[in-house]
Structure 1
């Protein structure tokens, strides 16, 4: 519906911006900031059952994703030698797909468990799982900045 279109248009807006302007370095800082923002937005759209709030935070969440993807892509492509990129991206894709399976399984189980434990609806249990995941994503994003190996990755890609 219209809500999905509004949310997805965030990705279109930031993709157009990145296509026109690109990123000129500062990948780790941009990655951390975009993941931090994405986490806050996840928590925001899970906070309350309000269509305006969900659409606003959904739009902002999808606005942040292309920045994170662009930074990760630039860092990985510049560090991995060309002759190994096919294997590397195959492994990255495999791990990502397995991560989806694990995430969906854990999210559903956690949502059901929280709903039963807190005596709330399964929908609110799902929202609570998304809220917690958003907060954890934001905390993880902040932890990226001071990590030496992550900083070295950016220096190696320069």
Structure 2
């Protein structure tokens, strides 16, 4: 299991403890696709090229979260390959296995978004207010509640 430095502050529960109804989620990922920043559009395009064999596809609302993760007032980014739909015969991102996908975390630095972390999981739900919280299924069968603002920011190389 991949552990993330950003993923250190969490609350764990059994995935079986989640009711089936919790999978029917109300997604509020922020802006519509046309309102994403140029940096977000650039990274979406890069991840489509990385995840789709023919380099053609699209992210839906389950894969793009442009939100202030660290409380600095700037929009950061979480990209989950679970929301990437490819136009090739594979249809699903090559960065996913049967249940789990690559999740990338970017913090805004000026006009750019810098990759801070990458881990494997499946985002079950997201709440933006009063601060962002993600419920993420992990490979070991647990659900982790990730509070990005309470996590330690990783050191930069």
The normalised TM-score by structure 2 is: 0.28
Could you say which structure has the greater relative contact order, defined with CA pairs below 8 angstroms and 6 or more residues apart? 1
Q: Name the one with the larger strand percent.
A: 2
Which of the pair is proportionally richer in helix? 1
Q: TM-score, normalised by structure 1?
A: 0.27
